[in-house]
Structure 1
Amino acid sequence: MQLLSPSAMSLCTLCLSLCPGAVDTILYAQSGHEATLRPTIHGQPENIFWTHDGNKVIQFDGSEEKVYSTYKNRIILDWGSGDLTIKDLTPEDSGQYRLEVNIQGKLHSFLQDLEVAKPTISCELNDASGSEPRAMLMCSVGTKNLSASTEFVWKLLEEQKPGQELPISLGGKNDDEEYCCVVSNPVSAKNATFTAKDCYPGKAVLSEGCRFII
């Protein structure tokens, strides 16, 4: 096996520090609330630079910080860890955030996707005219780039069922049943509730918070 030369090893180390890594998870947050981006870096940052979809968010030069555009008065930067807290979130805050920091003279980068949205539940009627009408509920979060660690779980009164889809029965007392979908990953969790009778034509899709204890 051929060993790398010292110069080649230095080049690899530089690439690991400079080249952007893949985004492991999507951080879900609710409009009007706050979210904290927590980079996986080690050591005391000498300077910090956050961007959102290529636009400047905040810079810290080691002694003072500068906040840009619409983020003024609603972000908090932790100078020791690089953590960025964004308050009063809006859907426009969704997107990819990139952090660049210098630690002991080396440049490090971190990527985090933020999705400011609530889960929504839609319903597709299978057969509303039969004696036992049934329907299929679908839970989604309004993004096509779900990470592999994203989980969908339906919280029912006495059980839990994984997956985005849930078959349900309609008619009679079944129409008053409530179904709660929880979308989670290692960094966040959001939920929505749907009442079975809203499956019928002319009913709106609901996405209120779960009423069950989760």
Structure 2
Amino acid sequence: MICKRIFFFLLSSLALADSFPDSERVLKYVLTGQEIIFVPPIFGQPQVMRWTRGDGRGVAFLDELGELEFPEYKNRITLDSNTAELTIKTATHEDGGNYDLKLKMNNKDLRFKYRVEVIEKVTKPNITCVMSGEHQATLVCSTDSKHPHLLEWDSHGNKQPGPNLTINLAGEFDDRVYRCDVSNPLTKQTATFAASKCFMDKPSDGEHDINLSKRAKQIVINIIATIIIIITAFPIAFFVMRKKCQAQNEDMDSPGSCDKLQKVELSVEMKRTISDLPCQRTFTFI
């Protein structure tokens, strides 16, 4: 009996194989995980109802013998025998596509066509600032949403579609705020960005600031290298002077001769320095 009903369903489906322009279909958007609900605009109770996918696969079938269940939608659909309303539970992306309904009511054949788009909620957008000059920047709005969505900027009441917005900056204390909206037909998320953050965060500042950053890094490296050289050279110089002093002490056979020799050398060096000055006569050494 069931095989006969399936055979009858397939024959009737072939009769519906003629194509219909998509413009005649009723478009429905559904979020993943939610229900797909079809409500045909009919008045009265149909005697036969046949729901199919656009490619002819069976979804639901009901006649005077009762409802015929299809494995693909087992435990997922509810068919109202009085109104032909169809509910598909827990929508997935695979449920998207064309659906056709053929009714027999009052000895008349009626057809209704639908198209379903299963989409996801959009995610909150992220805004970054790209400096293009000292007082100009481009705000870039992005989102992780994979399915079709709309990005739009709100600049103090002025709407601009697209992910990029070029702004003029009034300095580090610019308190103007810009808003980016990301949306699809069922959901919407918003993020705001203060112009002053372009100077604080600078997540991406263009070629000029990249070159500036490279120069700053080189300066830091040079400073660190100089400090390392000084720290390394000081103990070496001290060690050399100490050895020299010890050698001189051994030659002079006097424990304090090294200190005396250093004082003598320093005095001689100071005299030589002072003698080179034009005002050498005004200096007296004690």
TM-score, normalization by structure 1: 0.58
Larger helix fraction of residues:
2
Q: Does the aligned pair in 2 maintain the 1:136–1:165 contact within 8 Å? A: no
CA distance in structure 1 between the aligned counterparts of 2:85 and 2:161, rounded to whole angstroms = 32
CA distance in structure 1 between the aligned counterparts of 2:75 and 2:113, rounded to whole angstroms = 23
Structure 1 residue ranges without an equivalent (≥5): 1-17, 144-151, 185-189, 202-214
Q: CA deviation at 1:160?
A: 9.7
Task: Say yes or no: does 1:51 pair with 2:52.
Answer: yes
The one-letter amino acid paired with 1:191 is T
Structure 2 residue ranges without an equivalent (≥5): 1-17, 194-202, 205-286
2:32 maps to 31
After the TM superposition, which parts of structure 1 deviate over 3 Å for at least 4 consecutive aligned residues? 18-25, 119-132, 135-143, 152-156, 158-161, 163-174, 176-184, 194-197
Q: CA deviation at 1:134?
A: 2.4
CA distance in structure 1 between the aligned counterparts of 2:139 and 2:26, rounded to whole angstroms = 31
Q: Does the aligned pair in 2 maintain the 1:153–1:160 contact within 8 Å? A: no
> Deviation string for 1:98-123 (max 9, x for gaps)?
00110111111111100111265788
Q: CA-atom RMSD, angstroms?
A: 4.3
The alignment-based identity, stated in percent, is 23
How is 1:148-163 mapped onto 2 (pairs within 5 angstroms)? none
Larger strand fraction of residues:
1
Q: Does the aligned pair in 2 maintain the 1:180–1:192 contact within 8 Å? A: yes
Task: Go from structure 1 to structure 2 and tell me whether the alpha carbon gap of 1:128 and 1:30 turns closer, same or farther (over 3 Å shift).
Answer: farther
Q: Does the aligned pair in 1 maintain the 2:132–2:138 contact within 8 Å? A: no
The one-letter amino acid paired with 1:56 is G
CA distance in structure 2 between the aligned counterparts of 1:128 and 1:107, rounded to whole angstroms = 65
Q: CA deviation at 1:52?
A: 1.5
Task: Go from structure 1 to structure 2 and tell me whether the alpha carbon gap of 1:46 and 1:141 turns closer, same or farther (over 3 Å shift).
Answer: farther
Task: Go from structure 1 to structure 2 and tell me whether the alpha carbon gap of 1:179 and 1:124 turns closer, same or farther (over 3 Å shift).
Answer: closer
1:42 maps to 43
CA distance in structure 2 between the aligned counterparts of 1:128 and 1:60, rounded to whole angstroms = 64
TM-score, normalization by structure 2: 0.45
2:113 maps to 111
- If asked which structure has higher relative contact order (CA below 8 Å, sep 6+), I would say 1
Task: Say yes or no: does 1:133 pair with 2:134.
Answer: no
Q: Please point out which of 88, 95, 99 is paired with 2:90.
A: 88
> Deviation string for 1:117-171 (max 9, x for gaps)?
126578898954444422465899846xxxxxxxx79697x9795x864654689
CA distance in structure 2 between the aligned counterparts of 1:160 and 1:181, rounded to whole angstroms = 16
CA distance in structure 2 between the aligned counterparts of 1:182 and 1:40, rounded to whole angstroms = 30
**Count of residue pairs brought into register by the alignment:** 168
Q: Does the aligned pair in 2 maintain the 1:34–1:87 contact within 8 Å? A: yes
Q: Does the aligned pair in 2 maintain the 1:20–1:109 contact within 8 Å? A: no
3-state SS of 1:92 partner: helix
Q: Please point out which of 71, 74, 80 is paired with 2:73.
A: 71
Task: Say yes or no: does 1:191 pair with 2:187.
Answer: yes
Q: Does the aligned pair in 2 maintain the 1:39–1:110 contact within 8 Å? A: yes
